[in-house]
Structure 1
Amino acid sequence: MAHGLPLAEAMRLLAGATLDEEAPDPDWAEFVAGPWLAETLRGLRAPSTLAAVDPGPVLNATLRPYQQEGVRWLSFLTRLGLGACLADDMGLGKTIQVLALLFLFKRDGTDGTLTARPSLPVAPASLLANWMQEAARFAPDLCCMLAHPSGMAREALQALDAQQLTGVDLVVTTYGTLPRLPKLREVSWRLVVIDEAQAIKNPAAKQTREVKKLKADARIALTGTPVENRLSDLWSIFDFTHPGLLGSERVFSGFTKRLSETGHFGPLRILIAPYILRRLKTDKRIISDLPDKTELSAWCSLSTVQAIHYQEAVKALARALGSSVEGIGRRGLVLSF
């Protein structure tokens, strides 16, 4: 009987990113991808080589070449049941790439290959209007629902369940609203998308825990900053999109500590590369007709009264810091000024 490795473990071995300290000795152990995995990895690492997909005229927009590649890449991953981290620069159209993907799902759902089920984008409240406006503009044929107090009566919102989502393609909610809608955790979503995915960088935060409880065929993280401050930010996002790939938080912390001691993060980059796609506005190969950013420095001088108040605040803070305040109390004191 043939025995295979779980995909996550196979990917770690191929990347040389064994998470525990007992890594196989490279002098006697060599790992090679089989034909299927090798072909799959080629497609994930070079989306331009993937077969073209076309959402059709129902998408009220013409996708740029890099967006077409993004949709192919997202489609390829999600059809394999894998997650994705689309980390394009802000302004490169991450939302419209997801909308195009939903049209592919909707079309395929009519021929029995996929069950037509709703998808759930979770976004900061500041992006709700953007999601609804872009859906109305580019995807008017999608049936959209705003699961938020701003778009639905509170009683109806609390009663929202899978039965009421029949025929709905897209349900948009916020990180703050999600914990108050426990019935959404019972829905089997076709796709869960987290926008501004750095919002779940804290694994202990309530909104992070709630997002990770959602059930879906595939998960997508959208973020222009996959790592804001620490590599643990990346772990939390991948724990959502690819649970288990980077191990537990404790194991990943030990793994990255060992990598930092060697100064070589290649194994981590190789491990996550198939699942993260990042394009930059500064790359002329991606978008050549975007004008260069113009930066202007505007100096604003304080008035005499403002300068006096500022100096008084500085002196007051210095006196307060001169006391015995330590630790988190000291940090809170600084932030209070």
Structure 2
Amino acid sequence: MPLSYPALLSLTSKQNLIQLPSGSDLLMMTLPHSIIQTALLPHQKTRLASFWDQEIANGQSSRNLWATSPPGSTFNARHIITAKFIRPFEFLLTNTPLGGLLVDDIGLGKSIQAIALIGTCKKRLNTNSQWSMPTMNIFPPCLITNRQSEISKHAQAGALQAKIYHGPPCHSLSEAEI
């Protein structure tokens, strides 16, 4: 039986939801200073590690929410919060990068966390001879200049390329990280 939202809130605190257990050592990672010039606060570093784990293939945090069944059982995996059962082939999909949403109160550093994640993905994946995928940020048109200034403030000059895809003429997005 799935847990109701109030029951879920009574089982865990906001802090515990942010710090889901992970099999990775990403809490010890350092920012790529060749890309990011702003230091993160402790809660932002924890979020960055969690986001990074969601972005990479075989990340651990998302699979910690799934309990696998014993051999011979009729299901392959059960979600520990929603109690949803999934078939074997669907469980394989949880091994792919999941992405995520960054939603938080005003002033807690959503912009720097997003920019740090983009910079970290670019640096780490390029170091491993893999290409990082572009990141789409969606926000109201009135915030376009604000987001441009946030990138300029937190990223090294020329380290990240951002393109605005709004109204005519829309430009090609193939060369942009943001």
Q: Does the alignment reach a TM-score above 0.5?
A: yes
| Paired position in structure 1 for 2:20 | 45
Q: Tell me the CA shift for residue 125 of structure 1.
A: 1.2
Task: Give the Cα separation in 1 of the matches to 2:100 and 2:161.
Answer: 24
Q: For 2:48, which of 55, 61, 71 is the aligned residue?
A: 71
| Paired position in structure 2 for 1:99 | 115
| Paired position in structure 2 for 1:310 | none
Q: Tell me the CA shift for residue 99 of structure 1.
A: 0.4
Note the alpha carbon deviations across 1:106-163, whole angstroms, 9 max, x for none. 11232345323322111111221221110011113111112224xxxx24x1xx445x
Task: Give the Cα separation in 2 of the matches to 1:135 and 1:74.
Answer: 18
Is the Cα–Cα contact under 8 Å of residues 133 and 177 in structure 2 kept in the other structure? Answer: yes
Structure 1 residues 119 and 43, CA gap change in structure 2 (3 angstroms): closer
Number of matched pairs: 123
Give 3-state SS (helix, strand or coil) of 1:115's partner.
coil
| Paired position in structure 1 for 2:148 | 132
Task: Give the Cα separation in 1 of the matches to 2:39 and 2:26.
Answer: 19
Structure 1 residues 44 and 64, CA gap change in structure 2 (3 angstroms): closer
Report whether the alignment pairs 1:17 with 2:2. yes
| Paired position in structure 1 for 2:30 | 54
- Whose helix proportion is higher, 1 or 2? 1
Q: Tell me the CA shift for residue 46 of structure 1.
A: 5.0
Give 3-state SS (helix, strand or coil) of 2:119's partner.
helix
Structure 1's consecutive aligned runs of 4 or more residues displaced over 4 angstroms after TM superposition are 41-44
Report whether the alignment pairs 1:142 with 2:142. no
Note the alpha carbon deviations across 1:198-233, whole angstroms, 9 max, x for none. xxxxxxxxxxxxxxxxxxxxxxxxxxxxxxxxxxxx
| Paired position in structure 1 for 2:99 | 83
Is the Cα–Cα contact under 8 Å of residues 119 and 169 in structure 1 kept in the other structure? Answer: yes
Give 3-state SS (helix, strand or coil) of 2:107's partner.
coil
Note the alpha carbon deviations across 1:46-94, whole angstroms, 9 max, x for none. 57x8532222223111111111111111111221312334332111011
Give 3-state SS (helix, strand or coil) of 1:45's partner.
coil
Note the alpha carbon deviations across 1:170-197, whole angstroms, 9 max, x for none. 1xxxxxxxxxxxxxxxxxxxxxxxxxxx
Using the size of structure 2 for normalisation, the TM-score is 0.58
Note the alpha carbon deviations across 1:269-314, whole angstroms, 9 max, x for none. xxxxxxxxxxxxxxxxxxxxxxxxxxxxxxxxxxxxxxxxxxxxxx
Counterpart amino acid of residue 28 in structure 2: A
Counterpart amino acid of residue 142 in structure 1: L
Q: Structure 2: which 5+ runs fail to align?
A: 4-15, 60-96
Task: Give the Cα separation in 2 of the matches to 1:120 and 1:65.
Answer: 25
Using the size of structure 1 for normalisation, the TM-score is 0.32
Is the Cα–Cα contact under 8 Å of residues 102 and 110 in structure 2 kept in the other structure? Answer: yes
Identity level (%):
21
Aligned Cα RMSD in Å?
Answer: 2.9
Counterpart amino acid of residue 17 in structure 1: P
Structure 1 residues 125 and 42, CA gap change in structure 2 (3 angstroms): closer
Task: Give the Cα separation in 1 of the matches to 2:21 and 2:128.
Answer: 30
